[in-house]
Every structure is written in structure tokens, then in C-alpha cells.
Amino acid sequence: DAKTTQPPSMDCAEGRAANLPCNHSTISGNEYVYWYRQIHSQGPQYIIHGLKNNETNEMASLIITEDRKSSTLILPHATLRDTAVYYCIVRVAGDDKIIFGKGTRLHILP
């Protein structure tokens, strides 16, 4: 079973920041938080991951709370191409098994 909880769907206006929340209240000290997304008819795409510090790359920012029980993925300027299902995953470093939950279906509105 997935160890994360996400809202089933969210809307965001094009050009605005999309903030996707994830709860992982049972996360352990050696588990990382990963985000992937799946655009329709494509394979999952890695976005970003972190342990406890906030992270930023060319795609997104990841904000992890101090107690690590929740996190937020931020797409700073959402475009229509960001419409996808976003998966928040916790995973122990070196564990090859990724357990995908139901994710959040993000709709970007023009």
C-alpha cells in the first residue's frame, strides 16, 4: 500500500503556481520523498526528490515540512502541458521498489 495521501484532483489556472500537497505522516528517517507525474498515454516522469531540505530544479520546487510528515510540490508557472496525474512517493534509499498510489489529477485551466 502507498504510504502517502494526496487529494484526488486539483485545478490551477494557467500561468499561476500549482501547489500539490502530500501527507506522509508515517515516513521514517531514511525515507526520501519523490514526485513523479504521468501525462496521458505516457510513462511516469521523474520530477524531483528530497530528504529533509527543500529542493528546486528546472521543473519544480519541493517543500518538506520540518517534521517531514508532509510536503508540497510547486510548479511555479503552470502551463497546459503540466496537466497530468502527480504521484507523491516515499522510498528508502537503495530500495528499488516504488509503490505508486492514486496520485492527484492536476487540471490546468486556460
Partner 1 sequence: DTAVSQTPKYLVTQMGNDKSIKCEQNLGHDTMYWYKQDSKKFLKIMFSYNNKELIINETVPNRFSPKSPDKAHLNLHINSLELGDSAVYFCASSQETGVQPQHFGDGTRLSIL
Binding site for partner 1 (CB under 8 A): 32, 34, 36, 38, 41-46, 49, 85, 91, 93-94, 96-100, 102
In angstroms, how far apart are the furthest CA atoms of the chain? 40
Q: Which CB, 82 or 87, lies closer to partner 1?
A: 87
> Which stretch of DSSP H or E encloses residue 74?
strand 70-75
Closest approach of partner 1 to the CB of residue 92, in Å: 9
Q: Which CB, 51 or 80, lies closer to partner 1?
A: 51
Q: Which CB, 53 or 93, lies closer to partner 1?
A: 93
**Inter-residue contact 2 to 99 (CB < 8 Å):** yes
Q: Which of 25, 24, 50, 23 is nearest to 35 (CA)?
A: 50
Closest approach of partner 1 to the CB of residue 13, in Å: 25
Tally of CB atoms within 10 A around 62: 22
Closest approach of partner 1 to the CB of residue 100, in Å: 4
